[in-house]
Structures are given as structure tokens and as C-alpha cells.
Amino acid sequence: MINRFIFIKKLLLLFFITISLGLSASEETNKVLCELEGNYSITYEDFRRNYFNEAVEIAKNVAVTTTQSIFFLNRAKETLNKDAWDKNKIDVTQYWAINESTDDLLKLDYVIEPAPVWITQSDWNKEKKETGLLVTHFIENGVLHPNYPEYKVDVYRLSNEINWFTGKARINGDIWLKRVDGKRGKDPKIEILAKGDCEKQERKF
């Protein structure tokens, strides 16, 4: 398990380094460091079926995070007693590289310590908002987990966000997996949430 943990952590870092290599050396870059604290929580309990089904159905369009999708994800999680979740403290460091003239994202590296083994390489998209930047990593519903083929993905969404005006950042995500063999009580559901401050990034409205 330890070797697998180390391998996946290295794989995650390698992925971000790889997508960053195409940057032009001539870009005027604003580099921002954000340090976050939060929790990684996991449960094997089953959510209430109606909210679970709604959340999974919406997750089939995982490239888009909407108010509706967040609502059903949260309602499904609220059907469990808080004691059902095993919570672990995490520290997250985000390294944002942003074009100074356009505010476009040039690069994002982030490190979660300790790194949940369920995080893996995935597709991603970025959104430039009036308040900052949002980067969402996702895996399509029904796909086998790349590192754990005994599980298929119900929900995989991990978002990093930075806010220009508060000088703060966050990471939040949900990873819901389902055993291929159908065994009950063996389906992990993971929640990741951390918040914190960034250096030299607060702006005025």
C-alpha cells in the first residue's frame, strides 16, 4: 500500500509537470503560492438512493459543474450520519502561474499531503471567472478507475479555485467509486475540502 501511495503521488506530480512544458518562456508570468488546510474524508456507507441517483445522473456531464450538481452531491452526503465519515487532515499547496496581462492560466501545480490514493490522472478544464480561476479535473461516469480497475467511477470531480479579490483559494472534490463485482458495502466515497490564503494576490473591486 505504501509503494502504491508513493507511485500515485509521483504520477500526479508528473502529470502536472507534463502539461506545463508547452509554456512559452516569453510569457510575463505572475506566480502565486497558496497554502490550504482541510480534510480528506472517506465512507463505505450507502447514500440514500434517490439523491445518489440524481447526483450520478448529473455527473454523466462531469465537465460541467453546476449549482444543481453540487446540490445533489451535498444532499446525498447529508443522508449519512457524520460519524460514518473517517476524516483525515490534509495540507495542500497550490502553485499558480498566471499571465499578467490577460489573467489566463498558464500552469497549475498542486500537492496534497498526505495524498489520497484515489486521485489519479484525468481530463481537466479551466474557467476564467470575474472573481478568479477555476480548474476542474474529472473522469467520465462509468469508466474504470485507472489505478483500481476493480472499481468503476460514479463521480470524479476535483476543483482548484483562486479568488482575485479575497486573496484566498480552495480545493474541493468528490470521488465516488463502485465495485465491478457488485459487492455491497465496499464502495468508497471520498470528499476533499481545503481552504487557505494566497501570497500577493488580493485585488480591490
What are the tens digits of pLDDT across the range 80-128? 777 889 999 999 999 999 988 888 899 899 899 988 889 988 888 899 9
10, part of any domain: yes
96, part of any domain: yes
180, part of any domain: yes
Domain count, the chain: 1
Neighbour order of strands in the sheet with 123-128? 105-113, 86-99, 29-43, 189-198, 168-179, 151-163, 132-138, 123-128
204, part of any domain: no
Q: Which residue has the higher pLDDT, 49 or 120?
A: 120
Which range marks the domain in which residue 35 is found?
Answer: 2-21+29-198
61, part of any domain: yes
205, part of any domain: no
pTM of the model: 0.78
pLDDT digit string, tens, across residues 184-199: 778 999 999 999 999 8
pLDDT digit string, tens, across residues 150-180: 999 988 989 999 998 999 999 999 999 999 9
